[in-house]
Amino acid sequence: MRIFWEWIDNFPGTAIQKEEFRQIIISVIGWVPENIVPARIQELERMTEDADEMIAHDKKSENLYTRSLKEAITNARGILKTIQKEKDKSSKRNVRNAN
């Protein structure tokens, strides 16, 4: 399933074109894999970006909800950073093992 998801995700084009391609696949096949690690990572990245936009557009002073959202964003980014470090370590190991 991961390979199928990556094939769809790596479709060349703009974000809009990729989403159109994804929707075409869903209309033909009926689904695309979403309960896999790469899809969840991408979803978390999108959620942090959306939350940043919400905070940027909020003209009110910092309240409890804004602080909580900022804390959640910080935690999510920490998770994403850890995941990226592990991916980098794994890639380096694979390169060393291949040589």
pLDDT in tens, the chain (99 residues): 778 888 888 889 888 998 899 899 999 999 888 888 888 888 899 999 998 888 888 766 678 888 888 899 999 999 999 988 888 888 777 777 876
Looking at the structure, tell me whether residues 80 and 42 fall in a common domain.
Answer: yes
Looking at the structure, tell me whether residues 50 and 66 fall in a common domain.
Answer: yes
Looking at the structure, tell me whether residues 28 and 76 fall in a common domain.
Answer: no
Looking at the structure, tell me whether residues 41 and 86 fall in a common domain.
Answer: yes
The count of domains in the chain is 2
State the pLDDT at residue 39: 85
Looking at the structure, tell me whether residues 24 and 54 fall in a common domain.
Answer: no
Looking at the structure, tell me whether residues 43 and 4 fall in a common domain.
Answer: no
Looking at the structure, tell me whether residues 24 and 44 fall in a common domain.
Answer: no
Looking at the structure, tell me whether residues 14 and 57 fall in a common domain.
Answer: no
Looking at the structure, tell me whether residues 28 and 40 fall in a common domain.
Answer: no
State the pLDDT at residue 49: 92
Show the domain range for 75.
36-99
Return the residue matching tokens 């794994």.
Answer: 90
Looking at the structure, tell me whether residues 75 and 28 fall in a common domain.
Answer: no
44 sits in which H/E element:
helix 37-57
Residues ≥6 apart with Cβ < 8 Å to 54: 69
The alpha carbon of residue 79 and the mean position of all alpha carbons in its chain are separated, in whole angstroms, by 12
23 sits in which H/E element:
helix 15-29
State the pLDDT at residue 99: 67
State the pLDDT at residue 61: 63
